[in-house]
Amino acid sequence: DSGVTQTPKHLITATGQRVTLRCSPRSGDLSVYWYQQSLDQGLQFLIQYYNGEERAKGNILERFSAQQFPDLHSELNLSSLELGDSALYFCASSVGSGPHNEQFFGPGTRLTVL
């Protein structure tokens, strides 16, 4: 158990819908990262927040948005869902903001878009 929690574990929805994925980082960690992992694909970095502010951006679609709240939990919002958005979404957290900090991954949320 990494100490990073994600909810829900599974999510099944229809095309065009909007969903929210939630992540709570390890106690003491200020950075939260979001990754997308499609079937047999690598880890695609989406976005990073550090202490409430956006820190780094990856290949995040305009239909996706995220935020980090004062209590440091983070939410990833996916809207106008398409079949291709079906994937495993991981959240990770680290103490610091730089890429040299070990990232601790949550168990992931499996999103299925029908």
Which residue number, 19 or 109, has a Cβ lying nearer to another protein?
109
In angstroms, give the least distance from the CB of 108 to another protein: 6
In angstroms, give the least distance from the CB of 18 to another protein: 25
Which residues lie below 8 Å from residue 3, measured CB to CB, with a gap of 6+? Answer: 25, 26, 27, 104
Amino acid symbol at 47: I
In angstroms, give the least distance from the CB of 61 to another protein: 17
Which residue number, 45 or 79, has a Cβ lying nearer to another protein?
45
Interface residues with another protein (CB under 8 A) are: 2, 41-43, 45, 48, 55-58, 90, 98-100, 102-103, 105-108
Helix intervals (H) in 60-111: none
In angstroms, give the least distance from the CB of 28 to another protein: 17
Phi/psi of residue 80, nearest 5 degrees = 45, 50
Which residue number, 49 or 81, has a Cβ lying nearer to another protein?
49
Nearest to 13 by CA among 86, 63, 72: 86
Token code pair at residue 74: 């983070």
Which residue number, 46 or 113, has a Cβ lying nearer to another protein?
46
Peptide bond into 8 cis (omega under 30): yes
